[in-house]
Structure 1
Amino acid sequence: MKPSLVANGLRSRLYITSADFSAPGREVLHAPFVPLQNDNSDLLMQRFLSDGFVVEDVLFLSALKIARQVARARGRRQTVYMVGFDFRAEAGISEAITHDYAPGNSADRFFRVSMQEFFFLNCLYMLKDSDLEVVHVGDRSFSKLSAEELNQRFNVSLDRGGAGAASKVQVTAELTTNHFGDRQRLERMIRAARAAGADLVKLQKRNVDTFYTAEQLASPYVSPFGKTFADYRHQLELDRDDFAFVDALCRDLGIGWFASVLDQPSFEFMLQFEPQMVKLPSTISEHRQYLGYVAQNYRGAVVLSTGMTGPDYEEWLLAQFVNCRSLYLLQCNSAYPTPNADCNVGVVGHYKALSDAEPRIIPGYSSHDMGWLASALAIAAGARMIEKHVKLGNTEWAHFDAVAVDLTTADFRDYVARLREAEQMVGSGTKAVNASEHHKYRIAA
């Protein structure tokens, strides 16, 4: 084990072992090893529920115990996906076992592998309604997901360049303020967007007290959070701890995040998270002084929606945003919902032409229309980012609910699937003979 780890490179930050093992530059925790014997299986499950830690012969029990410690440290439920645990000595990885479980003895191999299923079923029972959700991936009666469903959940494609091949088109789930400042609701939205196949989630940040006028803040507004517009807006804003929570959650889930920063205080606030990307939305396209400030002081990627603007705005943007690493130009119409006749997806083709001349420019489409068709057409026109509003259920008083796709249904998953199909159909743009085609009337040699 140790030689193979060294040969393949020490890639983990932490190793937990019962062996005499050291990893320069890495943290190593040592724990005692307890071998499994016929008369101590009950003790094994008792240890699993206790506070102490040992390296078990049934190794996945130790891994699940570590996962429970992570859940307690984070203060929220964790999900563990059991992939490759078929518990069949005659199939899968188990078939290749030669020395780890039973050297040259098929009967012992069968016992050592199959008996682990007993302990796994015990774990499922003991962890029911606990801080750890265990999802077995496979085709057993206790499996919660098939391998195909797991791939769909984590947007792993087996058809576009191999497993885990990166998509050329980034799909952004625009949460707007439909989290209502509720962290639990926010987490549900992010998890649902990730499960549906989104690459990114987007939030919003503004300084309520300075972004709006005193008259606007004092005006009556009906919401569950108070009687004024100020009550409503203050509730929707996320604070530093909220964004730190989002950052940690997204890292854990493997999904990117960024935010629309609507004013300079919000832009300065967001810098503490070292964002790789910020958005400047259509709603502030007339705030040229602030936009110019970001252009001069930010080197990361900038996403700009171009709703409510014309060619003069585009010229101004291209002249100003010369320091940023990438400049996403998203065709957008700011009507909610956008009429079909006003989607003007052809503008994406224009942005694609700009990107051909200047690769730093990335064309995209911010969808305020109903459904998926305009977004799919935008991909055909060259879009490499698609943004879509999402919500969590229907709320009569919330903004843009008619446009947003409901994450409590399969609608957003279906939307993303349509975009992936469109991306696949568009292809690489390089003409080639495909394996699916052949000459019906071939000329004889």
Structure 2
Amino acid sequence: MSESILDIGSYHVGSGHPCFIIAEIGINHNGDIDIAKKLIDSAIHAGCQAVKFQKRTVDIVFSEKELAKFRESPFGDTNGELKRGLEFGQEEYEIIDGYCRKKEIIWFASCWDEDSLEFIEQFSPPCYKVASASLTDDNLLNHHKKYSEPKILSTGMSSLAQIDHAVQIFGEKDLALLHCHSTYPANNEELNLNCIQTLRNRYQLPIGYSGHEVGLVTSVAAACLGACIIERHITLDRSMWGSDQAASVEPHGMKRMVSYVRAVEAAMGDGEKRVWESEVPVRQKLRRIG
């Protein structure tokens, strides 16, 4: 059985195609649309193919008890004030949609509840991301099936049995999986990058990698191991306020990572052993026989 290919906008995503690199903006905009625009620009400058946001209906995703908890932030002293302060609404997403269209970069979102999915659908995204936290939410997974766009499913903090179940709900058409470790930041010793091949062998689907570790080398290694999607959080500055900033990549780092992945792709080749024309003069110079 051959591995399927996803079509996301004008990009073909899967084995044999260039790695699809996503800059996860998430909530690193800190509720500021100008920061969001700068992050979009940084992703474009780095050579990413897409940017991704997160969309939640705060009162659905979080309980009243959770929202009432004390938590200091620039938005107030409760967790609810923080969550609402970080959440973009209609005006901001219209700006994001127009800005990304103008800049010619794909954008989409991970939707954490059914209302958020309905909200994002108005912008006709080329695909949807399903966060690791939502992998066991059967109602949300089934709600995604209302729409024909490809789905990218992260598999952090999930067993193979749970992933099997989610794949069964979605079906194998227009689906990609991302190997993921859900700690922010993740320890290298727990990344288990060899699981990329485990998932490829098990599901025969496009398999990518969503990284939350510090540094770039492991994401490049994921590309070497066959990841056809690489997703990393992007930030203007890792020292900025925010829960995800420390596990994110700054603009110059994102640019380096993209260039490293492209260098790896160029170097991997097709696996067929051959003598290159450029080697012939060296062979004639150095070999005594043959």
TM-score by length of 1: 0.57
Give yes or no for the alignment of 1:415 onto 2:265.
no
| Residue 354 of structure 1: how far off its partner (Å) | 4.7
Quote the residue 1:315 is aligned against.
164
Aligned residues: 271
Measured in 2, the distance between the counterparts of 1:379 and 1:390 equals: 18
Equivalent residue in structure 1 for 2:195, among 347, 352, 360: 347
| Residue 384 of structure 1: how far off its partner (Å) | 0.7
- Given the superposition, is the C-alpha separation of residues 245 and 442 from structure 1 closer, same or farther in structure 2, using an over 3 Å criterion? farther
Which consecutive residues of structure 2, in runs of 5 or more, have no partner in the other structure?
A: 1-15
| Residue 427 of structure 1: how far off its partner (Å) | 2.8
Measured in 2, the distance between the counterparts of 1:230 and 1:198 equals: 33
Tell me which amino acid in the other structure corresponds to 1:303: I
Quote the residue 2:266 is aligned against.
424
CA RMSD of superposed structures (Å)? 2.1
TM-score by length of 2: 0.86
Q: Match of 2:279, SS? A: coil
Measured in 1, the distance between the counterparts of 2:217 and 2:257 equals: 9
Q: Is contact 1:199-1:255 (8 Å) kept?
A: yes
Matches within 5 A, 1:300-311: 300-311=149-160
Measured in 1, the distance between the counterparts of 2:103 and 2:271 equals: 32
Measured in 2, the distance between the counterparts of 1:427 and 1:183 equals: 42
Give yes or no for the alignment of 1:229 onto 2:63.
no
Tell me which amino acid in the other structure corresponds to 1:368: H
Equivalent residue in structure 2 for 1:331, among 139, 161, 179: 179
Q: Deviations over 1:30-78 (max 9, x none)?
A: xxxxxxxxxxxxxxxxxxxxxxxxxxxxxxxxxxxxxxxxxxxxxxxxx
Q: Match of 1:331, SS? A: strand
Q: Match of 1:352, SS? A: helix
Quote the residue 2:93 is aligned against.
243
| Residue 364 of structure 1: how far off its partner (Å) | 0.2
Q: Is contact 2:135-2:166 (8 Å) kept?
A: no
Quote the residue 1:208 is aligned against.
58
Q: Is contact 1:326-1:362 (8 Å) kept?
A: no
| Residue 442 of structure 1: how far off its partner (Å) | 8.9
Q: Match of 2:48, SS? A: coil
Deviates more, 1:380-389 or 1:420-429: 420-429
| Residue 289 of structure 1: how far off its partner (Å) | 2.3
Quote the residue 2:37 is aligned against.
187
Q: Match of 1:175, SS? A: strand
Percent sequence identity is 32
Quote the residue 1:161 is aligned against.
none
Q: Match of 2:231, SS? A: strand
Measured in 1, the distance between the counterparts of 2:128 and 2:254 equals: 23
Quote the residue 1:402 is aligned against.
246
- Given the superposition, is the C-alpha separation of residues 225 and 353 from structure 1 closer, same or farther in structure 2, using an over 3 Å criterion? same
Matches within 5 A, 1:55-94: none
Tell me which amino acid in the other structure corresponds to 1:297: K
- Given the superposition, is the C-alpha separation of residues 398 and 442 from structure 1 closer, same or farther in structure 2, using an over 3 Å criterion? same
Matches within 5 A, 1:54-133: none
Which consecutive residues of structure 1, in runs of 5 or more, have no partner in the other structure?
A: 1-165
